Amino acid sequence: MGPGSGSAAGPGTGVGSGRGAPRQRLRAWAELLRVSALFSVPGDALAGAAAVGRRPGRGTALAIGASLCLYEAGMALNDWADRDEDAVDRPHRPIPSGRISPAAALGAAGVLTAAGLALAARAGRPALTVATGLAATVWAYDLHLKHTKAGPAAMAAARSLDLLLGATAAVAATGTATRTGAGAAGGARRPDNVAGPRTMADALRTPGPGPVILPPPARGGLTGALPALPAALVLGAHTYGVTAVSRHETQGGSTGTPLAVLATTTALAAAVLGEWRGRRGQMPEGLATTGPATVGPAPHPEARLARAAGSGSGPGRAASPEGILGWAAALGVTSQPEGTLGSGLPGWAPAGPGGGAVPAARPQSLLGRTVADPTRLLTLALTGAYLRTAGPPLLHAALNPSPPLTQRAVGGGIRAMIPLQAALAARAGSPVTGLAVMGLVPLARSLARKVSLT
């Protein structure tokens, strides 16, 4: 959107037409709220739910709604706070051009903030706590922090909190559904956002009429969202770079900032493609000895306990060594005492149930693991799309730090959030969620041709 389009949509346009005035007013609000950037928001909640191992459900939908409202509240408040500055640098913006009054923009920011907090409250008290912190960060950034050195950090914190909002809402919805399902006699519904049995007792049934052994209860609330913190930090670091570049989009003149952000973007891509510690690999010690090797994600602790229960002893049966080792591995106890022969020799795996060290499996190359694992291959492709979207505009802005190229770099950074969110979801073991997030790219690109991102 150039300056000419703003003047063409001024108060005098469409006055004589019954349809022209409402259409131009709607366009002015679309510019104020920057609706083309909205498609970068749902991926936060979806990536957060994937990071804590939940499927998208009611909690995720509420988190997306809350995020959209708070994001648009920030957009309206941003233009209200910058109305004097925009009158000089961007007179075509809706408030300086007179298409939207300052009072209307401020009122919209307040209403959207209240709506976002109300939706978050429906997702549970932990989600409301995170959303309140997010709303406070947005208002503090727009009203004061934007023009200070803490501005990029505040915007990064807001984006990280948005992802944690999705994680917290998913965990809270799961806990609510589990409690509801457990209280209903004969209920067969599964808890929201999670694929698995309705109750712990369904997951762990020991042979015979013996008592059911339950694992410790799953963490909920804010504590349950902690696994999403690394993904939130990655997304926050990207947002920090985009915000740092945006400080020069009206005047230009910065070469070092785009170069530094380009280096950060490359480092973030490398972090996403790093080793998946604790996500994929061999079966835990003691469980891999009871059957053939399994390819895929490491089993959930509940599944490990269930498998150990299946190999354990029932009434009148002697306990098998495999079952004992399975219980030990599931409970975090090593199956081989320290000092056993062969336990510390290089290239030798710990002893199995039959005793004696065995040669360790040869580690597979990174390329081999990537080709053999479709999810890892998808993560690689999504991370490449992230680099392809964010990298070239930053390089062009570094070579020629003019305002148009700097604004293009900012727009590329905003659009790059979508493939980054998709890559984070796929890396967490949710390839379908990653593909769904990536499906927002064509919609964002189409709308960006009509409404500017910056």
Burial call 114-129: b when 16+ CB within 10 Å, e when fewer: ebbbebbbbbbebbbb
- Residues 186, 191: Cα–Cα separation, whole Å: 14
- Residues 36, 106: Cα–Cα separation, whole Å: 20
pLDDT at 249: 80
- Residues 63, 67: Cα–Cα separation, whole Å: 6
Give the sign of the dihedral formed by CA 34, CA 40, CA 46, CA 52. Answer: negative
User: What are the per-10-residue average pLDDT scores of the chain (454 residues)?
Assistant: 39 42 89 92 96 94 97 96 91 93 96 97 95 97 93 96 96 62 41 40 46 49 88 96 89 86 96 64 36 45 48 45 46 45 46 53 59 86 96 94 91 95 95 95 86 75
- Residues 420, 414: Cα–Cα separation, whole Å: 10
- Residues 433, 179: Cα–Cα separation, whole Å: 26
- Residues 453, 448: Cα–Cα separation, whole Å: 6
- Residues 50, 164: Cα–Cα separation, whole Å: 11
Please enumerate in sequence order all residues whose Cβ is within 8 A of that of 306, keeping only pairs 6 or more positions apart, or say none: 203, 204, 205
pLDDT at 93: 92
- Residues 34, 72: Cα–Cα separation, whole Å: 8
Closest among 192, 60, 65 to 118, alpha carbons compared: 65
pLDDT at 305: 44
pLDDT at 217: 46
pLDDT at 175: 61
Burial call 374-409: b when 16+ CB within 10 Å, e when fewer: ebbebbbbbbebbbebbbebbebbbeebeeebbbbb
pTM: 0.70
Is residue 93 within 8 Å of residue 195, measured between CB atoms? no
pLDDT at 198: 39
pLDDT at 308: 46
Q: What are phi and psi of 201, to 5 degrees?
A: -65, -30
